Amino acid sequence: MSQQFEPNIVAFLCNWCSYAGADLAGTSRVRYPANLQAIRVMCSGRVNPLYVMNALQQGADGVLISGCHPGDCHYMEGNFHARRRLGMLKELLEFVGVDPRRFHMSWVSASEGHKWKEVVEKTVEDARAAGPFEGFRRRRIDW
């Protein structure tokens, strides 16, 4: 029996909407796969698009960035900046041959615990389908 591949996913969540939404999923005892670990940032606008590249390089099989819905950003505009930057990063990664299923972005509000679950499931499922990321992952050199 072949074992199912369990992807390792790094997520960047904004403190006010998506991190709170993920907390709400916890409070509501929603169940979702354990493949994803979140890094809390104050705003999705804080996410330097190169974090995505870095995460893939450092061992992630998939990356998720989640922020407030457009218009709801706690800092007014941060998510709009994130959307533009990450939209272009997605084009770039796809062009250099990174499977688009490895990178997702979502809007999850503080009240969308269930949406958070769906987003995690989709992200994990997609990364699983894309398989282990070998691409330009940093390899440990054994001397």
Q: Which of residues 11-40 bind other proteins (CB under 8 A)?
A: 15-17, 19-20, 22-23, 25-27, 29-34, 37-40
Size of the site for other proteins (CB under 8 A): 84
Token couple for 22: 């993920």
Quote the CA–CA distance of 42 and 12 in Å, as a whole number. 10
**Near other proteins in 57-76, by CB under 8 A:** 57-60, 68, 70-76
Q: Is 49 in the site for other proteins (CB under 8 A)?
A: yes
Q: Is 143 in the site for other proteins (CB under 8 A)?
A: no
Quote the CA–CA distance of 119 and 108 in Å, as a whole number. 8
For every residue of 77-140, DSSP letters joined together read SHHHHHHHHHHHHHHHHHHTT--GGGEEEEE--TT-HHHHHHHHHHHHHHHHHH-S--TTPPPP
In the list 2, 3, 4, 93, the residue contacting other proteins (rule: CB under 8 A) is 93
Least distance from C-beta 120 to other proteins, angstroms?
A: 9
Q: Which is nearer to other proteins, 112 or 128 (CB)?
A: 112
